[in-house]
Structures are given as C-alpha cells and as structure tokens.
Amino acid sequence: MTDRLYDKDAYLQEFDAEVLSCAEGKKGYEIVLDRTAFFPEGGGQPADRGRLDGAEVWDVRDKKEYVVHICDKPLEPGSTVHGKIDWNRRFLHMQQHSGEHILSGIIHRRFGYDNIGFHMGKDFVTVDFSGLLSEEQIEEVEKEANETVFANREIRAEYPTGRELASLEYRSKKEIEGNIRIVTVPGADICACCGTHVRRTGEIGPIKVIADEHYKSGIRLILEIGWKALEDYDRKHRNAKEISAMLSVPPETIAEAVEKQQEQIQTLKNANIALKQKLFIKLAEEIAEGSRKEILFQEDLNSVEVRRLADLVSEKTEFAAVFSGSDEEGYKYVICSNKVDVSVLGKDFNRALNGRGGGKNPMIQGSVQASREEIRKYFADRP
C-alpha cells in the first residue's frame, strides 16, 4: 500500500521513498513507491508531474491500494529515491480545485443544484451543474465566491467518525467506500473529496466566470481561477489597450467605439450599394436598342453585384454575360438569355475556360480561370 503524503500535507513538494516495484508498461515504466507526494488523477484534478531521482514522471494513476508513477526511466526496486513534484502546476490545481469547491458549495446552498461534472483543462476550468442559472445569478454567485476568498478562511480536510458523518450535511459526487475525507470551507462548502486544496481561501486568488453554456438540462460554467485568472486578465488587458490605441478612445469605451464604427461601415456600405446601382443603370442605358449580345467586364464586384448588373443588362439584349475579377485570379460570371440555352452553353464554357458553376435557364453563374482575352474570344466565335 502506498502512503499518500499529499493527503496529510498538500504542500509537501519533496520526499524520499522506497521503490516497491518497477515494470515496463505501454506508456513508460510503472513505478510503485511505499510513500508519495504525487497526486494521481482523480475527482476532476489532473495528475502531478515531476521527477523521481533522474526519472521524469509523465503521469500518476490511482490503482486502489497503490499510486502508480509512469516514468521515462526504470528505477531499481528496493532503492531509495528522491521525489520532487512540479509545484507550479500542482499549486495551480490546488487553487482551481479549492475555487471549484467554493463555487459548487454556494450554488448548491443557494439553488440546490449538484455539481455533475468538473474538468481542469489547460486553458480553463469547467464545472457543470444540474440546473440553469441566469446571468444575474451567476454574477451573485461569483461575487459571493470572491468574498469567501477575500475573507481568507481556513480550509480543513478531516476524517470524521461514522457517527459524526451521519449527522453531517455534505456534498458527495458518488458513494465512497472506506474512510470519508470531508473538506470544509467555512460558510461556503462541505464536501467529500480526496483532492489537494490550499490552506486558506485567500491563496485561491480571483474566481472569474468567463462564459456559460447550456449543458444537458443544466449549465456549464467556464472559469478562470487563481494564477490562470491573472493570466487571463493580463491577456485581455493587453488586448483592450491595443484596441483602445487603435480607436483613440479610453479602454473603458472601446465596445461603444466599435459599435459606432460598425454603424459607420454600414452607412458606407449602403452608400456604396446605391452608387453601384446608379452605375449599373447607366451601363445598361448605354446599350444600344436591339442589341443581340453584350459581354461586360466590371472591376471589383461581388457575386450579388455581378448578378444585379447582369439582370439589368439582360433587359436590353438577347444575350448578357457579365464578368468581374482579374486575369491573375480569374473571373466571377453571370450569363443570362431568353434566346440561348445558357444551361447547355455553360457546360461548354466551363469546359473550355477551366470554369465551375452552372444553373437553370435563363440564368447561370460561376467562375472561370481564364484571361479577359480568352473569354472575349470564346464569345466572339459564337453568334
């Protein structure tokens, strides 16, 4: 049986232990020690990383009586090794895990919802609850969670007796066998848990809900906690500063400024549409009465505009083909006719000029990879 040192002291970073066994597994050497400060994956908290003498610990697994360390090198059974855990990684997990307790405890007390899923990812923490929360309710919960952090309360982990347990109201993710470890955050949470936590709530740092989404019949909260919350703040602060400089407004008003800019863009777009419409009408007016065939090239039109111009041109001629693009990048096209079967013509046109697209009479659209000269030549050969 492995003595789990992290259980009694979550702050233990280094220790000496005896190697009980070492076997080559699929993902590295599986090493069992008589005692360890390495926390194995469990209850949503990822496994620790670190070193055992010269061996790197890639992963740590809980195998009932034993904690198995997956390492890159073998270690001699019977020898004594020095273990050192990656403390920055572990402390972040302790902050995130303790923060999750506070949040889940508060939501359970206020709304009666259970924590039905917990995941500490590389970039953020997610916690799933069995019921829905409004934006206001999320804000209230977040505020109370941070008040609990600032109150700097002591977090206790204890093994109560059977009788004490029977009279205790605590959250529990599943039926647990054996000794039950109860983690208490006074005023916020009482929960059965085997993970590692900080000593006092003040060490958790900020708890920030950055997003929420529906999950099953409840809600998933996406969180930044502790050092990760500060990293997130730093990233967002830098972004806000850059945007603020680009817009020449204070960071507090960047959203307002972007909204104004979007309105201006919309006004310009509308003006552009109106101008192009005038141009299209003029181009159509210039076509001589009784025209049989018009091949038009116009720069910088999108597909909708090509079609709008083709519609107008086709009112003045029996066969209208409108193109926009360049010799280098190819041309978008719309071809309309009430006289010619453009559906059939389109297939030949695409084949001849490396094009794609099609449609039904009286209009087809698509694009070709050909030069203006090649396109003109194609139509010049046809009546």
Largest CA distance in the chain: 102
193 binds Zn ion (CB under 5 A): yes
205 binds Zn ion (CB under 5 A): no
Q: How far apart are CA 343 and CA 335, in angstroms?
A: 9
105 binds Zn ion (CB under 5 A): no
Q: Which of 195, 226, 330, 355 binds Zn ion (CB under 5 A)?
A: 195
Closer of 70 and 149 to Zn ion (Cβ): 149
Closest contact distance (angstroms) between CB of 105 and Zn ion is 11
Of 313, 318, 321, whose CA–CA distance to 295 is shortest? 321
Closest contact distance (angstroms) between CB of 44 and Zn ion is 8
Q: Kindly give the residue spans of alpha helices, DSSP state H, lying in 112-161.
A: 135-150
Stretch binding Zn ion (CB under 5 A), from 16-24, 186-194, 236-244, 248-256? 186-194
Of 165, 164, 163, 170, whose CA–CA distance to 184 is shortest? 170
Number of residues interacting with Zn ion: please give it, by CB under 5 A: 2
Closer of 83 and 195 to Zn ion (Cβ): 195
155 binds Zn ion (CB under 5 A): no
Inter-helix orientation angle 87-111/135-150, to 10°: 120
CA 30, distance to chain mean position in Å, is 34
Closer of 71 and 193 to Zn ion (Cβ): 193
Stretch binding Zn ion (CB under 5 A), from 192-200, 260-268, 288-296, 349-357? 192-200
Q: Which two tokens stand for residue 39?
A: 């926390």
With CB atoms as reference, the residue minimizing the distance to Zn ion is 193
Determine how many CB atoms are found less than 10 A away from the CB of residue 273.
13
Closest contact distance (angstroms) between CB of 192 and Zn ion is 9
335 within 8 A of 321, measured Cβ to Cβ:
yes
Q: How far apart are CA 208 and CA 361, in angstroms?
A: 59
44 binds Zn ion (CB under 5 A): no
Residues in touch with Zn ion (CB under 5 A): 193, 195
